[in-house]
């Protein structure tokens, strides 16, 4: 497995080795003996999620109050997503910056986000399927959002899908009214480093 640390400390890209033959493909998309030395601690699995999205569906930027925080290990089983990690940790040298990874059913990369980091995904084709392992069960009172379209974040969202068609962003009602990073910080909702 190839591992690359993203520009935000505590976020990593994992690219598995794939073994293919006339029957299909086999790969190890998560392996603790590789993960734990990289992340510095094991991923304590508390919940696993799966989401299927139409092209243009934009989910996030989501994060969990830290503490307790929620770590995520995310991959794409079908289709393609732009996976975006945003540093929301007040006091971090990379606060307010973002990095991205194309996760798809070709390279089969996975992204790890440590607690305190924000997460968003944009589906690049219809039927794209993402799955993620979480270190904390969903707890509504700890769940927070920042607008993925906050102009101050300057996230370079693709405007064209994997098939070459223009993307029209589709947000949930909750994501469409999420505060900007500045408002979330002023409200004291962001995690500290």
**Beta pairing, strands 58-64 & 117-123:** antiparallel
Share of the chain above pLDDT 90, in %: 99
Question: HEC profile for the chain?
Answer: CEEEECCCCCEEEEECCEEEECCEEEECCCCHHHHHHHHCCCCCCCEEEEEEECCCEEEEEEEECCCCCCCEEEEEEECEEEEEEEECCECCCCCCCEEEEEEECCCCCEEEECCCEEEEEEECCCCEEEEEEECCCCCHHHEEECCCCCCCCCCCCCCECCCCCECCCECCHHHHCCCCHHHHHHCCCCCEC
Instruction: Note the pLDDT of residue 173.
Output: 97
Percent of the chain with pLDDT over 70: 100
Whole-number average pLDDT of the chain: 97
75-100: per-residue pLDDT in tens?
Answer: 999 999 999 999 999 999 999 999 99
Task: Kindly tell me if the per-residue pLDDT of 149 is higher than 90.
Answer: yes
pLDDT of residue 140: 95
Q: Is the pLDDT of residue 123 over 90?
A: yes
pLDDT beyond 90 at 193: no
Which of the residues are catalytic?
A: 62, 132
pLDDT tens profile 37-54: 999 999 999 999 999 999
Note the pTM of the prediction, 2 decimals: 0.96
By the 8 A CB rule, do 89 and 190 touch? yes
Which tens digit of pLDDT belongs to each residue from 176-192? 999 999 999 999 999 98
Dihedrals φ, ψ of 106, to 5°?
Answer: -105, -65
**Angstrom distance (rounded) from CA 115 to CA 100:** 17
Q: What is the model's pLDDT at position 91?
A: 96
> The dihedral of CA 42, 46, 52, 55: what is its sign?
negative
pLDDT of residue 62: 98
Once rounded to an integer, what is the mean pLDDT over residues 100-122? 98
* Residue-range domains of the chain with CATH: 2-186 (2.60.120.10)
φ, ψ of residue 189 to 5 degrees: the values are -90, -10
Tell whether the model's pLDDT for residue 136 goes beyond 90.
yes
Residue 175 has pLDDT above 90, yes or no: yes
């Amino acid at each position: 497995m190839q591992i690359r640390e993203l520009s935000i400390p505590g976020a990593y890209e994992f690219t598995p080795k794939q073994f293919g033959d006339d029957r299909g493909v086999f790969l190890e998309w998560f392996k603790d003996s590789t993960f734990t030395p990289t992340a510095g601690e094991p991923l304590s699995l508390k919940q696993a999620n799966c989401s299927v999205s139409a092209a243009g569906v934009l989910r996030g930027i989501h994060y969990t109050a830290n503490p307790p925080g929620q770590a995520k290990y995310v991959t794409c089983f079908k289709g393609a997503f732009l996976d975006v990690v945003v540093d929301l940790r007040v006091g971090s040298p990379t606060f307010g910056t973002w990095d991205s990874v194309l996760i798809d059913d070709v390279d089969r990369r996975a992204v790890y986000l440590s607690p305190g980091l924000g997460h968003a995904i944009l589906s690049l084709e219809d039927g794209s399927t993402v799955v993620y392992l979480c270190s904390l069960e969903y707890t509504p009172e700890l769940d927070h959002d920042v607008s993925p379209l906050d102009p101050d974040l300057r996230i370079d969202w693709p405007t064209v899908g994997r098939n070459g068609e223009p993307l029209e962003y589709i947000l949930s009602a909750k994501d469409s009214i999420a505060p900007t990073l500045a408002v979330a910080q002023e409200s004291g909702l962001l995690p500290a480093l």
